């Protein structure tokens, strides 16, 4: 099996959470992804390949959001779900790598369950609302409610990726519209709304573990300044890609290496 990649259902709260694991290391790494239109089911091989750098030192786990997202669910609620999943698997003192909405969740996980987090990476994320994220999420929700998936996928690409990247891959937009169309529209809207519930800034001082913040200065989804706010509040290490935006984790070839070096340091 590719990097020992496995998919299974985890029974939690009378429902089943899609879970992916890969790698063969003794250490545990929890990767919390951002807002996703499709979920992680069926993506074990592609995710193991994307994060293959971690597969030797770590056994890596990813947990999808619950399938039956309740109305008004917050990112703090999602952190409780991650904690419950870790408890169910007997995972403690793991390294945690949160991307975008996953970074919001990771902050609350470190605040509310410090026993679960050894080191923390907060990538292209925020700790409190700002006009950039509010306009972004409101537009994505509106386009989804209108059923305008073509414009939704295009807007996501334009806001996430660099201009050069968008120009290079624009011919593939029709294919992306099909591939990235939300499987469950109502669920996607609830998850998107949850992005606007992150208000961890005033509680960041409760995070006691080492933290590394990494982001893109040109971020059009949460704003580049959001990463700086977190690092300044925590007094922690930060690296910003000057010419990249929200998808720096995909575009920057050295992104995972920087995360890996921090976790190994």
HEC string of 60-116? EEEECCCCCCCCCCCHHHHHHHHHHHHHHHCCCCEEEEEECHHHHHHHHHHHHCHHH
Does 182 reside within a domain? no
At 7, which CATH number?
3.40.50.1820
Does 234 reside within a domain? yes
> What values do phi and psi take at 16, rounded to 5?
-120, 125
pTM of the model: 0.95
Q: In the chain, where does DSSP find H-type helix?
A: 44-50, 75-89, 101-112, 131-145, 149-160, 163-169, 173-180, 185-194, 224-234, 248-251, 255-264
Does 105 reside within a domain? yes
Does 127 reside within a domain? yes
- Which residues does 95 contact at the CB level (< 8 Å), separation at least 6? 27, 28, 29, 30, 58, 117, 118, 119, 120, 121, 263
The pLDDT tens digits for 134-166 are 999 999 999 999 999 889 988 998 999 998 888
The pLDDT tens digits for 208-251 are 999 999 999 999 999 999 999 999 999 999 999 999 999 999 99
Q: Report the distance separating Cα 21 and Cα 84, nearest Å.
A: 16
User: Based on the number of CB atoms within 10 Å of its own CB, is 172 exposed (0-12), middle (13-18) or buried (19 or more)?
Assistant: exposed
Q: Which residues span the domain enclosing 86?
A: 2-132+187-264
Does 143 reside within a domain? no
Does 50 reside within a domain? yes
| CA atoms 225, 120, 141, 218: torsion sign | positive
Tens-level pLDDT at each residue, the chain (265 residues): 579 999 999 999 889 999 999 999 999 999 999 998 888 999 999 999 999 999 999 999 999 999 999 999 999 999 999 999 999 999 999 999 999 999 999 999 999 999 999 999 999 999 999 999 999 999 999 999 999 988 998 899 899 999 888 888 777 666 665 666 677 899 999 999 999 999 999 999 999 999 999 999 999 999 999 999 999 999 999 999 999 999 999 999 999 999 999 999 9
pLDDT confidence of residue 23: 97
pLDDT confidence of residue 165: 85
pLDDT confidence of residue 90: 97
pLDDT confidence of residue 183: 76
Does 257 reside within a domain? yes
Q: Report the distance separating Cα 87 and Cα 81, nearest Å.
A: 10
In the 8-state DSSP scheme, what is residue 183? S
Rg (CA), the chain: 17
For residue 256, what are the CA distances in angstroms to 14, 56, 228, 260, 263? 35, 14, 19, 6, 10
For residue 129, what are the CA distances in angstroms to 186, 193, 196, 225? 23, 12, 6, 11
The domain total for the chain is 1
pLDDT confidence of residue 177: 59
Strand arrangement of the beta sheet that strand 211-216 belongs to: 6-12, 15-23, 58-63, 27-32, 94-99, 117-123, 211-216, 237-241
Does 27 reside within a domain? yes
pLDDT confidence of residue 1: 56
């Amino acid at each position: 099996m590719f990097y020992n990649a496995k998919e299974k259902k985890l029974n939690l709260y009378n429902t089943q959470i899609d879970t992916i694991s890969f790698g063969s290391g003794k250490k545990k790494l929890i990767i919390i992804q951002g807002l996703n239109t499709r979920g992680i089911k069926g993506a074990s091989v592609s995710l193991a390949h994307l994060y293959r750098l971690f597969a030797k030192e770590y056994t890596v786990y990813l947990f999808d959001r619950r399938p039956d997202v309740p109305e008004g669910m917050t990112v703090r609620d999602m952190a409780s779900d991650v904690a419950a999943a870790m408890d169910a698997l007997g995972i403690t003192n793991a390294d945690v790598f949160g991307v975008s909405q996953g970074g919001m969740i990771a902050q609350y996980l470190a605040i509310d369950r410090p026993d679960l987090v050894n080191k923390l990476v907060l990538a292209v994320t925020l700790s409190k609302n700002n006009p950039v994220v509010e306009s972004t999420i409101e537009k994505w929700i509106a386009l989804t409610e209108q059923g305008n998936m073509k414009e939704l996928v295009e807007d996501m690409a334009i806001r996430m990726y660099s201009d050069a990247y968008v120009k290079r891959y624009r011919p593939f937009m029709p294919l992306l519209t099909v591939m990235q169309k939300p499987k469950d529209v109502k669920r996607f809207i609830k998850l998107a709304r949850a992005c606007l519930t992150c208000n961890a800034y005033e509680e960041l001082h409760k995070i006691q573990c080492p933290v590394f913040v990494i982001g893109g200065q040109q971020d059009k989804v949460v704003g580049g300044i959001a990463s700086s706010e977190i690092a300044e509040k925590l007094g922690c290490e930060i690296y910003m890609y000057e010419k990249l935006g929200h998808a720096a984790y995909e575009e920057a070839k050295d992104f995972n290496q920087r995360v890996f070096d921090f976790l190994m340091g």
